[in-house]
């Protein structure tokens, strides 16, 4: 009996250590951090088991970096978790990201799209409402708004994903240092 | 004697902890691939034409709502495959990505660089000309079609139906 308990605890602790190491993306070498955003511009990662496991869980069936870059955010610019009890804005210029296509999408904590009556889940470089200079502001809120409104669920944590397809190679190589739109908590 | 037993037990305990976490981390891609294949709900070597991506799509995490997807979970153990289809013109981005059973992409092509627009590939595990060589018996193919207008959506649905998978005896 003692031997079975001994083995059981060792296996449980082994699994717990593995899970902790996989979800600890903040200190992962697979991802760079740029303001609110975390991403990788060197996929696929080759034979590193831990990094591959992390990418598999957070970006299943991801494309290689020369095809697409995925940036992930679960916190606002002040480091607080994104939460549907608050409203947020994300502002920038549509030409700030040099790519064939880019988009911002909201996901629930479960990493699936957030059901909403407007059936609106994302904005991309071709459907954002901008001013004549290309400036835009996306309102991320559980309450309905006019303009670029990205619906989320009230009082539920959420994540944002910025996708960049066929990005300009110079832009992509500088992505960890380039200024990206920050997610600001606001009162609307 | 007691302290020697204690040291041996501690070493064995730590070795088991290390081995379990090593094998679990190494198995994550295989586990995730198995779950994705199972959740697809379709037989291997058939084309899955996913509907327009919305909140009802809950088979694979982080789906892109701007894309229409075709997927194939394949198995080359009994036969090679012929994959054929058509890319849209360059106004509508489309890619065809091949993944091994470790869910890592080993080949990607898109309509911006591939000519002609129609394609036909021999998918096998053996090297050769005009073939796509899979690193594993099983894997997946994902066709992504960008949709930013109703017209592009209609075209994507048409192209979804053109993608074919045929088995080829070894």
> A181 pLDDT band (50/70/90 cuts)?
confident
User: What is the per-residue pLDDT for B126?
Assistant: 75
Question: Residues 131..160 of A with a Cβ closer than 8 Å to B: which?
Answer: none
Give me the residue from B16, B24, B95 closest to A7, CB to CB.
Answer: B16
- Ranking A22-31, A120-129, A161-170, B107-116 by mean pLDDT, the lowest is A22-31
Residues in chain A closer than 8 A to B102 (CB atoms): 52
Contact yes or no for B21 and A14 at CB 8 A:
yes
Residue A21 falls within a domain, yes or no?
no
To which residue do tokens 């379990």 refer?
B20
Distance separating alpha carbons of residues B99 and A63, to the nearest angstrom: 9
pLDDT tens column, A73-128: 999 999 999 999 999 999 999 888 999 999 999 999 999 999 999 999 999 999 99
Confidence of residue A156 (pLDDT cuts 50, 70, 90): very high
What is the rounded CA–CA span in Å between residue B37 and residue B16?
A: 30
Which residues, listed in sequence order, are joined to residue A33 by a DSSP beta bridge? Answer: A38
Q: Kindly state the average pLDDT of the residues B67-85.
A: 93
Q: Do A49 and B26 touch (CB under 8 A)?
A: yes
Q: How far is B95 from chain A (nearest CA, A)?
A: 9
Instruction: Say whether B64 and A115 touch across the interface (CB within 8 A).
Output: no
What average pLDDT does range A161-181 have in this prediction?
89
A91 - beta bridge partners? A137
Higher pLDDT, B71 or A179: B71
Interhelix angle A49-58/B2-40, rounded to 10 degrees, is 40
Q: Is B60 on the interface with A (CB under 8 A)?
A: yes
Which residue among A7, A15, A113 places its CB closest to the CB of B65? A113
Q: Which residue has the higher pLDDT, A40 or B53?
A: B53
Asked if the structure places residue A56 within a domain, the reply is yes
Query: Taking CA atoms, what residue in B is nearest to A48?
Result: B26
Owning domain of residue A39:
28-186
Q: In this prediction, does ipTM exceed 0.85?
A: yes
**DSSP code at position B90:** T
What is the pLDDT confidence band of residue A174, given thresholds at 50, 70 and 90? confident
Chain-wide mean pLDDT for chain A?
Answer: 90
Nearest to A140, CA basis, from A81, A183, A101: A183
With cut-offs at 50, 70 and 90, classify the pLDDT of residue B44.
Answer: very high
Q: Does any domain span residue A145?
A: yes
A44 to B66: CB separation less than 8 angstroms, yes or no:
no
Comparing CB atoms, the residue among A44, A101, A113 nearest residue B104 is A44
- Asked if residue B87 has a cis previous peptide bond (ω within 30° of 0), the answer is no
Q: By C-alpha distance, which of B91, B53, B92 is closest to B71? A: B53
Give the pLDDT mean for A43-61.
Answer: 81
User: Over the stretch B112-152, which tens digit does the pLDDT of each residue have?
Assistant: 887 788 988 889 887 655 578 888 889 999 999 999 888 99
Q: Where are the domains of chain B?
A: 47-169
Q: Does B10 touch chain A (CB under 8 A)?
A: no
The confidence score (pLDDT) of residue A18 equals 94
Chosen CATH of B47-169 out of 3.40.50, 2.60.40, 3.30.1490, 1.10.10:
2.60.40
Distance from CA of A91 to the nearest CA of B (A): 20
Q: What is the rounded distance in angstroms from the CA atom of residue A179 to the CA atom of residue A128?
A: 20
List the single residue in A7, A22, A60 with the smallest CB-CB distance to B61: A60
Neighbours of A96 (CB within 10 A): 16
- Nearest CB among A63, A112, A166 relative to B55 is that of A112
Section A31-43 average pLDDT: 83
pLDDT of residue A114: 96
Is pLDDT larger for residue B135 or for residue B97? B97
Q: Is A158 within the bounds of a domain? A: yes
Spatial distance between the Cα atoms of A182 and A37, rounded to a whole number of angstroms: 8
pLDDT tens digits for range A127-154: 999 999 999 999 999 999 999 999 999 9
Distance from CA of B64 to the nearest CA of A (A): 8
- From CA A149, how far away is CA A128, in angstroms rounded? 10
Q: What angle, 0 to 180 degrees and rounded to 10, lies between the N-to-C axes of helices A2-23 and B2-40?
A: 50
CATH of the domain at A158: 2.60.120.600
Instruction: With CA atoms as reference, report the closest residue to A162 among A131, A132, A188, A128.
Output: A128
The residue of chain A with its CA nearest to that of B96 is: A63
pLDDT at residue B170, as a whole number: 61
- Spell out which residues of chain A touch residue B105, defining contact as CB-CB under 8 Å: 44, 61-64
Tell me which of A2-6, A163-167, B68-72 is least confident. A2-6
């Amino acid at each position: 009996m003692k031997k079975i308990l001994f083995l059981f605890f060792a296996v449980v602790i082994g699994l717990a250590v593995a899970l902790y190491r996989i979800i600890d993306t903040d200190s992962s070498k697979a991802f760079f951090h740029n303001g609110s955003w975390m991403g990788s511009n060197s996929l696929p990662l080759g034979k590193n088991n831990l990094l591959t496991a992390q990418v598999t869980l957070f970006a299943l069936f991801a494309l290689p970096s020369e095809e697409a870059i995925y940036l992930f955010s679960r916190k606002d610019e002040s480091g607080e978790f994104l939460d549907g009890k608050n409203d947020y804005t994300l502002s920038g210029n549509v030409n700030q990201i040099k790519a064939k296509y880019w988009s911002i999408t909201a996901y629930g904590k479960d990493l699936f799209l957030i059901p909403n009556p407007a059936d609106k889940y994302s904005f991309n470089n071709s459907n954002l409402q901008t001013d004549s200079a290309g400036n835009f502001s996306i309102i991320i809120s559980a309450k309905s708004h006019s303009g670029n409104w990205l619906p989320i669920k009230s009082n539920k944590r959420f994540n944002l994903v910025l996708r960049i397809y066929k990005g300009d190679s110079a832009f992509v190589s500088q992505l960890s240092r380039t200024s990206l739109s920050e997610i600001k908590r606001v009162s609307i | 004697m007691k302290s020697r037993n204690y040291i041996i037990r501690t070493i064995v305990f730590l070795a088991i902890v290390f081995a379990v976490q090593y094998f679990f981390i190494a198995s994550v891609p295989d586990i995730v691939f198995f779950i994705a294949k199972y959740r697809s709900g379709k037989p291997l070597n058939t084309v899955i034409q996913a509907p327009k991506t919305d909140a009802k799509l809950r088979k694979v995490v982080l789906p892109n709502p701007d894309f229409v997807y075709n997927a194939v979970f394949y198995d080359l153990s009994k036969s090679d495959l012929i994959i054929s289809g058509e890319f849209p013109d360059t106004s509508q981005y489309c890619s065809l990505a091949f993944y091994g059973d470790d869910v890592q992409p080993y080949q990607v092509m898109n309509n911006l660089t591939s000519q002609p627009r129609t394609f036909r590939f021999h998918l096998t595990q053996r090297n050769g000309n005009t073939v796509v060589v899979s690193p594993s018996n099983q894997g997946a193919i994902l066709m992504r079609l960008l949709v930013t207008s109703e017209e592009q959506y209609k075209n994507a649905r048409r192209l979804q139906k053109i993608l074919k998978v045929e088995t080829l005896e070894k």
